[in-house]
Amino acid sequence: MQLTERILAGKGDIKADTVLEHCRIINVNTKEILNADIAIQSGYIVGIGDVSGMRDASTRIIDVNHYYVCPGLLDGHVHFESSMITLSRFARKALEHGTTGIVIDPHEIANVLGRQGIELVLEEAKSLPLNIFVAVSSCVPATPFETSGASLDAADVRAMMENEMVVGLGEVMDFPGVLSGDAGKLAMIQAAWERRLVVDGHAPGLMGPDLWGYMAAGISSDHESLTYEEALEKLRLGMKLMLREGSAAKCLENFLPRLLEEGVSLENVFFVTDDKHPEDLLAGYMDAIVRKAIALGLDPLDAISMCTINTARHYRIDHLVGSISIGSRADLVILDDLEGFSIHSVIAGGTTIAPIEAQIPVFNYPDHVLDTIRYREIKPQDLQLIYAPNSSVSVNVIKVFPDRIFTEKGNAKLVTDGSGVLLPDANRDILSTAVIERHGKNGNIGQGFVRGFDLKSGAFAQSIGHDSHNVVVTGTDHADMALAANAIKEMKGGIVLVQDGDVLDSLSLPFAGLLSP
């Protein structure tokens, strides 16, 4: 029994299987740097200090050579699906960058595959050296205004909360439902409370009495503040503040310097990504956030604490991860340099992570998750809006912004051709866009106009469309748009670029139309 072995090793009755010697330990419990050795047994830390009596000829000795050793990093909130790779592949890159634990809300897969999809992810997680903690998705679908592939009700959520990997209820995006007393939403929150699980929030712009009512439901965190003042109010009222620095949204530069300037305690603040696109994951993960925080003036020990112990305490898993402590998992990051947070090597569960490919098994996915794009052939006329021929029409236009997840509503005048087809205007950066229901539920197609892409010709389409993940196609020409939509169907999901009747490039994402298996 591993527990017995760990106790005996801690007492010195049996020898540790691994010892790291000559460490400079980043102790996030006391915010100190300690010179000590670390003894490990069965993947857990059993000794810190002088562990010379805990080793023998069979003990594996790792000479750290006076490098810094910090706890494995944690991402406190991530939808791993935004990486467009499976959980196993995501784990490989996370570990390379010193992240040994993530709290996932598999909201995207849930919107396509439902409870079955989440349970498949949980099964895959069992074989990984990365610690996977789960916040069960609370808003599937996110709104009643579009068609998702599946839905989760309170009974589904309650059942999934019995899984040992579950640490909470995922971000409760439906704050109007909470404030209006929606019975289904409150039943999910109640289920979390009965199991003493955390309930995470999602409340952009919510302040004052509405925020009080939302928090009174027991919702204890937020990562969606639009302004520093909003973030500070939430923190003062007792919410844990997730500082989000992901691919789709970033707040570190806006919030962290002011928190430091005003001397606000950071013990209830931790780092998250929310979403991490593949090109960004290649460049860095939580290690990149630590480096940026240090560059913005944060003390390195505080920066490390904000993606280790602070995160672990919020999710009530600090007995297991988040610090270099007796009894904790031996998840350790060895650093060449503290200020630059340069990673030398990573240890997860007492095992050195190298080479990573050899340590993560291949997971076989059932065929049905690779075939989720279900709509008929799309013709150009399916994507057109028809009005009186040769007329001028006032339309709403959605404006998008780079690196922002919020849009703005605008208006514009567009003209129709001789057949009454309302035409986009690439010269004014006004493109046609359509959302095609792809789950085989009703075949609906919604049409509109968007600006902010500065596309001059052609079209692009993708089966990633938060949150219900219908196919979104946008372009300057309805024929190219139809070609792009049909190419998505043919490849069973992904991203497609089209120009002048030719597919220029594509990325196949057949797993739920979201991921590359």
| 115, HSE (Cβ side, Cα atoms, 13 Å) | 12
User: Does pLDDT of 358 surpass 60?
Assistant: no
Mean pLDDT score, 139-164: 95
Give the 3-state secondary structure of residue 161.
coil
171 pLDDT tier (thresholds 50, 70, 90): very high
Predicted pLDDT of residue 403: 74
Angle between helices 107-125 and 87-96 (to 10 degrees): 80
Q: What is the mean pLDDT of the chain?
A: 96
What's the pLDDT tens digit per position in 196-227? 999 999 999 999 999 999 999 999 999 999 99
Pairwise CA distance, residues 113 & 119, whole Å: 10
**pLDDT at res. 162:** 97
129 or 359: which carries more pLDDT confidence?
129
Q: What percent of the chain stands above pLDDT 70?
A: 99
Model confidence pLDDT, tens digit, residues 457-481: 999 999 999 999 999 999 999 999 9
Query: What's residue 143's pLDDT?
Result: 85
Give the confidence band of 355 by pLDDT, cuts at 50, 70, 90: low
Which residues are CB-neighbours of 250 under 8 A, at least 6 positions away? 244, 403
pLDDT tens digit sequence for 483-515: 999 999 999 999 999 999 999 999 999 999 999
Question: What is the set of domains in the chain, with CATH numbers?
Answer: 2-66 (2.30.40.10), 72-319 (3.20.20.140), 370-508 (no CATH)
What pLDDT score does 406 carry? 85
Q: Within a 10 A sphere around the Cβ of 381, how many other Cβ atoms?
A: 11
Dump pLDDT digits (tens) for 388-428: 999 999 999 999 998 778 899 999 999 999 999 999 999 99
Q: Is the pLDDT of residue 438 over 70?
A: yes
**How many residues are present in the chain?**
517
Contact yes or no for 471/512 (Cβ under 8 A): no
pLDDT band at 1 (very low <50, low <70, confident <90, very high): low
Question: What average pLDDT does this structure show over 126-136?
Answer: 96
* Predicted local confidence at residue 15, as pLDDT: 94
| Sequence letter at residue 135 | A
